[in-house]
Amino acid sequence: MKSIKKTKFSDRFIAGILLLILGGILLMLLDDDPNWVNFFKHLIKNILRIVF
């Protein structure tokens, strides 16, 4: 049971990091659109809540 929980946590952590990187790239590309910026800020906050 412990190994399963660790695997799920690490998978979430890796997914969170990948989403933060992708979000950062998209923020740079779509920096002109404030709606996208707000959307990704909200998304990143939710990801951090889930991961941590």
Q: How many domains does the chain have?
A: 1
Cβ contact 50:12 at 8 Å:
yes
Which residue has better confidence, 5 or 16? 16
| DSSP state for residue 3 in the 8-state scheme | H
| Confidence label for 7 from pLDDT (cuts 50, 70 and 90) | low
* Residue 26 structural domain: 2-51
Return d(Cα 11, Cα 9) in angstroms, integer. Answer: 5
| Confidence label for 31 from pLDDT (cuts 50, 70 and 90) | low
